[in-house]
Structure 1
Amino acid sequence: MFDLTEDDLRGRAVLDCPAGACSFTAVARAHGVNAIAADIAYDHSVDELERKGREDIEHTMEAVQRAAERYRWEIFRDVDHLRQARMEALAACVADMRQHPSRYVPVVLPDLPFSDARFDMTLSAHFLFMYSDRLDEAFHRATLAELMRVTRHQVRIFPTVDLHGRRYEHMDALLAWARTQGWEAREVRVPYEFQRNAHTMLVLNKVGLSC
């Protein structure tokens, strides 16, 4: 979904935020990436996170089943295949959290407890823009500013649509605002689409720098 290869990430410091019960940090670390996950959920114990993660997966599967026409069933064959993938990701996340708790940092956006330019790249999936009915434009700007503060080179955010597959209504204004902050800002098509129309990401670069 971020149109990245292992070579793009290996040897880099990468922040996944918000990361949720995702296996990215565990898998990336195994491939030589200095990955850190950050999420509000990490205030919970690992046992509680695992229990809640299982409940969330089941609730999500019910919602996906009810709205199956909103998804492209190519990456995942059906809801059962999707459930299996989510459960495997949760299991990998929980196992890594038990072994390496320092990799999982509790945060409450838009504030992050990291130093300026701590990471080479930041990845953010399925949060900003998706919940634009609950998160206002000021929150989006504050969060982008904070993600850029802790990032040396580039931030990638996927997708640029809401839960109904509609492009974020303030995207053009947000792109214009980002450029006034001295960042390069653009929407980029990616070779991944599960939710219909969710096939673009926002890419922000520090001017003169790229990954």
Structure 2
Amino acid sequence: MSRVEQRTKLDLDRIIFIGRTFEEYLDMFLLSAEELQGKKILDCPAGACSFTAAGNKAGFQVTACDIAYDHSPEDLKNKGLEDIRHAMEHMEKAKNNYCWDYFSNINKLKSHRLRALKDCTDDMKEAANRYVPVTLPELPFNNEEFDLILSAHFLFMYADRLDYQFHLETLQELLRVCREEVRIFPLVDLEGKRYEHLDEVISFLAGQGYQVEEVKVRYEFQRNANAMLKIIKGSQERGQ
């Protein structure tokens, strides 16, 4: 997939606008509030997640970016409500593909998704500067602008429509704007299978001088989606 020369607005109908809560992020990425103190953080792509909204309310420095943010908060809220209704209708048929320890039942899942959507779109209205429209694999940020970058439910999950080259280009761009560490969750595709090129990705990154670890986390909703990739920039990269 070649680099995009000019960012174009994606049709809202093609966007799935569903997100996770701040608490889910802490579990997906094995984070504590103490670890976030004093760090400049990027959520990419953030979708309808409430990590940025809740994080800033808690005193953290969090920026969100996503292709969806070209649209208004109200349009995104309406799209999100539609997407949540659609997802919950189909969840019953696919219940066996998920672990229900975290949410207990579909109603609790729905309440988490609705809360994330409301918190996200409310915050977009109050602090639009935190929500930056982007088209990966390019990012409009400076080199090493963020200490920590979190990327959930995008890379690796959509291996059927995002090719290996896109994954590499996106990872390199995330690492360009990162000073310390990138964390990616999960490491499986939509069928719950380990991303087929993950070992190649790890080998490539290690060859570039990064420290790369697969780390089990305390979150599993989609079956087998219980690990993240932790990419740490070495001192030689930070000095460049």
d(CA) in 1 for partners of 2:174 and 2:141? 10
2:92 aligned with 1:65: yes
Count residues with an aligned counterpart. Answer: 209
Residue ranges of structure 1 left out of the alignment (5+ in a row): none
Which piece of structure 1 moves more, 155-164 or 180-189? 180-189
The aligned amino acid for 2:171 is L
Residue 177 of structure 1 is matched in structure 2 by 204
Mapping of residues 40-189 of structure 1, within 5 Å: 40-189=67-216
Contact 1:11 1:32 in 2 (8 A): no
CA distance in 1, matches of 2:134, 2:216: 29
Q: Normalized against structure 2, the TM-score is what?
A: 0.85
Paired letter, 1:6: A
TM-score by length of 1: 0.96
> Following TM superposition, by how much is the alpha carbon of 1:60 offset from its aligned partner in structure 2, in angstroms?
2.0
Whole-Å separation in 1 of the counterparts to 2:49 and 2:215: 23
The Cα RMSD (Å) is 1.0
Post-superposition shift, 1:63?
Answer: 3.1
1:145 and 1:64 map into 2 onto residues whose CA distance is 35
- The residue type equivalent to 1:162 in the other structure is D
In structure 2, runs of 5+ residues without a counterpart are 1-27
Q: Deviations over 1:56-93 (max 9, x none)?
A: 11222233222100111111121111111100110001
Aligned to 1:204: 231
Q: Tell me by how many angstroms 1:136 deviates.
A: 0.5
Residue type matched to 1:136 in 2?
A: D
Aligned to 2:21: none
Q: Percent identity?
A: 52
The answer (yes or no) to whether the contact 1:185–1:202 under 8 Å persists in 2 is yes
